[in-house]
Structure formats: structure tokens, C-alpha cells
Amino acid sequence: MGGSSNGYLKPRLGLVIFFKNSDIFVDIYRRRHEGNVTNNQLGLDEEKTKIRGVLLPIFFPELTGEEGRVLLTGLCENINMTMMEACYCIVVMSKALRENRTMVGEDRGELRKIIQFYLERIVQLVNGKTAVGRVEH
């Protein structure tokens, strides 16, 4: 886990968020160690999704439960979805990108960069321009 001189924490779990004095990040930090599943690519999506699932309704309160589930799926490294799910995920990610309010001190710029990265990746999958992940036609 990295930090900065301004007291914000920056976890290395793929979803970079900045908080001051956050109990959730203290807990995440305590659980990260050499043998942790997040240091293993096979368990990375599962662990990140658990953490993101807790944070998602806080950062994106306008998303419905279904939209949140779709967004979490789209933020995985190993994507396997239908064409309909991929298109819906693009719509949901676009909706999430329109959220400008800072809810609890998170870095909205970093959240936007992360969502934009995965959005572009899914667009490439839909257009057949990448072999990373799988969209069933």
C-alpha cells in the first residue's frame, strides 16, 4: 500500500481511491501480505470485485443494483460476457463517468481514469480489436 505526504492512502488493488483516516483501507492494508490472493493473478478479479462492491454504492449512488453488478463485471481483467451485456456495460460505464460529486474524499480523476481504461477495453472487445477477454456474439 502506498501513501503520500498529505495523509491520503493509495491501495494497489486496481481501484485507486484516496481517503483520509479510513477504517476500510486500514483493514485492506492489514489483509495484504505476500501470500494474499491479490498478489496472485488468478484471485485478483475476485478480491478487487469484493472491495469495489463495497465502495461502488458510495461512489456511484445513482447506479441501480443491476448497473452496479454490470459495472463490477466490466472492471475485471478476465471479461467473459455476451454482446448485449458488453453494450449495457458501456452504457453503465458512461453513466458512472458522468458522476462528478466527491462523496467521501475520493479522487474522482483517478476513478475516471480507471473506468475510462476499462470502457475503452470493452469497446475494443465489442469491435473485435483485441483478444483480451471474450464477448460472445
CA angle 11, 28, 101 (to 5 degrees): 55
Query: Which residue is listed with cell 480507471?
Result: 114
The stretch 122-129 carries a mean pLDDT of 87
1 contacts: CB under 8 Å, gap ≥ 6: 9, 10, 11, 12, 25, 28, 29, 32
Give 62-120 pLDDT, tens digit per residue.
Answer: 999 999 999 999 998 888 888 899 999 999 999 999 999 988 888 888 889 999 999 99
The stretch 5-16 carries a mean pLDDT of 42
pTM of the model: 0.67
